Amino acid sequence: MPKHVIKPLSLVVASGLLLGACSSLEPKVYTEDENRQRIIQDQARMYGEQEPVSSPITFYEAAARALKYNLDYRLKLMESALAADLKDVSSHEMLPRLVATAGYAGRNNDSGGTSIGIVDRQQSLRASTSEERYRDLYGLGLSWSLLDFGVAYYRTQQKADQMLMAEERRRKVAQNVLQDVRDAYWRAVGAQRLMPEVDRLLARTAQALDAARQAEDRGLLPRQEILAYQRALLDSIYMLTVRRQDLEFAQAELSALISLPPGSRLVLADTQEASLPRAARDIEKLELLSLQNRPEIMEEWYRKRVDQNDLKIAKAQLWPNVSLNWSYQYDSNKYLYNNHWSETGLQVSLNLLRLLQLPALNDAEQTQGETNDMRRVALSMAILTQVRVGALRYELARQEVEFADESLRVDRNLLDYAQAAKSTSIGSELEVIRAEGRYLLSRYQREAAYSRAQAAWGRLYNSVGLDVMPESIDQHDVKTLAREIERTMNAQEAQSLLIGSRAVEGGHALVQP
C-alpha cells in the first residue's frame, strides 16, 4: 500500500480508537481491598519515621515531637513549600515564548488552479500547482508580549507575597501547637501523678460500700445512719470517677498532639515543677511586641499587596500591547523556491473600550486599600485586647495556684488528723475516706490550677507572637530540637520583657501524702 495512503488510514484508525476509549469511560468506585490498602498507607504516613520514645518525655521534648510530627503543622509546612514552588513557576512566565512545531500535511488531490492576468484579465486555461500533496512542516517561533510580561511580573509578586502569607500561617500553627502542648502536658503530668491514687481510693471506697451494705443487711446500725453512710460513699465514688475521666482525657489529648502511635504508653518526666514566671507589668511594651510579631497582622499586610497587584494587573490590560515575533519555518514542498525561511513581526494593539474602566479601577483601588487597612487595624485592636486579657488572666491564675497550695496544706493536716483519730467504727472509716477524698480533690484542684496557670502563660506568650522554631525541623532529632526550643524560649522570655523576675512564691513543689 502506498505511503500516502497508509498515513491517512493510520490517523483514521487512531482517531476511532481514541473516540471509542472516551465513550467507554465510566465512574469507577474504589473496591474494599483498595480502601483497606489506602487505610494502611495513611496510617503508615501518620506514624512513620518517628523516633521511638525511649525515656520519660519532658515538656520541651513533647513540644519538639508535636512540632516535628504533628500532622497539622506538617500540612502547613507543605503548603509553604508549595507556595514557594508556585512562585518559581510564576517567575518563568515572564520569559519569552519559544515554541517548536513539527507536523505532516496531506490531501487526496492537488491544490492547483488557473489564473487570470492582472492587466488584461486574460485567463490561463492550463491548471497548475506548486504544492505537493504530502509534505513535512517544521517551525521554531520566538514571541514576546509586553502585556504578558507585565501581567506575569505582577503575578510573580503576588506569588511571592502568598509564599510569605503561607509562612506566616505556618508560624501561627507552630505557636498554636506549642500553646496546646503546654496546656495538655501539665494536665497530663497531673493525671500521671493522681491516677494511681484515684484508682486506689476508688477501690477502698468500693470495699467500704460493700461493707456498709453487709452491715445494713445484718442490722448492725440504724437504717438511716447506714443509708447516709452509703450516700456519702456514693458521692465520693462519683466525684472520683468524674475526676478520673478528666485525667484520662488530658493524657489522650497530649498523645494526639505529639502524634503518638495508638497503643503507645505515655510516660512523662515527673520532675520538680518550674516556678511560674512573672509577666512584665509594662503592658504597652507587650502590646508593641504583639504588633511587631503576630503572624496574623503580617499576613494581612501581605494580603494588601496581593490585592493591590490584582488592580495593577487590571490597569495594565488597559494600555497598548506590544508584541514581537520571530520564527524559523521549513516546508518539504519540492516546488518551493525556498524551503526554509524566517519571519519577523511587530504588532501594537489597544482595546479602546477598556479605557472606560479606568475611573472605576481608581475608585476600587482606593476603596480596597482603605478596606485592607481597616481590616488590619481591627485585627490589631483584637490582638491588643488579647494581650491585656492574657496578662490579667495569667496574674489571676498565679494567685489561684497560691490559694490551691494553701487549701492543699489544710486538707493534708485534716487527713493526718483523721488517720490519727481512726478507730474500728464505721463512722471513723468513713471520716478517713472523706478526708482522703477531700485531700485528693485538693491535689486535683492544685494540679488543675497549675496547669491553668501554665496555659495562661502560654496564651500570653502566644498573644505576643514570639517564635520558638529553629530554621529547619527535619534536620534535628527530637532531643536536639527540644534543647533548641528550650534555649530559644528562655532567651525570648528574658529579652522580650515577658519576665520581670522569677516568682519564688508561685509554683511550689507538689506535697506528697
Q: What is the pLDDT of residue 16?
A: 59
- Separation CA 161–CA 157 (nearest Å): 6
CB-based contacts of 98, cutoff 8 Å, min separation 6: 140, 141, 142
Q: What separation in angstroms does the CA of 365 have from each of 353, 357, 371? A: 20, 12, 10
Rounding to the nearest 10 degrees, give the CA dihedral for residues 409, 415, 417, 418.
160
Please state whether beta strands 321-331 and 134-145 pair in parallel, antiparallel, or not at all (unpaired): antiparallel
**Which residues of the chain are modeled with pLDDT < 50?**
1-3, 5, 500-513
pLDDT digits (tens, 9 = 90+) for 137-169: 888 888 888 888 888 888 888 888 888 888 888
As assigned by CATH, the class of the 30-94+158-320+354-502 domain is: mainly alpha
C-alpha 463: how far from chain center: 18
Q: What is the pLDDT of residue 509?
A: 35
- Separation CA 489–CA 174 (nearest Å): 13
- Separation CA 15–CA 22 (nearest Å): 11
Q: What is the pLDDT of residue 47?
A: 61
Beta carbons within 10 angstroms of residue 341's beta carbon: 11
Phi and psi (nearest 5°) for 53? -85, 110
Q: Cβ(451)–Cβ(187) under 8 Å?
A: yes
Reported as half-sphere exposure (CB side, CA atoms, 13 A), residue 25 has a value of 6
pTM: 0.70
Q: What is the pLDDT of residue 163?
A: 82
- With CA atoms as reference, report the closest residue to 393 among 492, 445, 297, 462: 462
Beta carbons within 10 angstroms of residue 306's beta carbon: 18
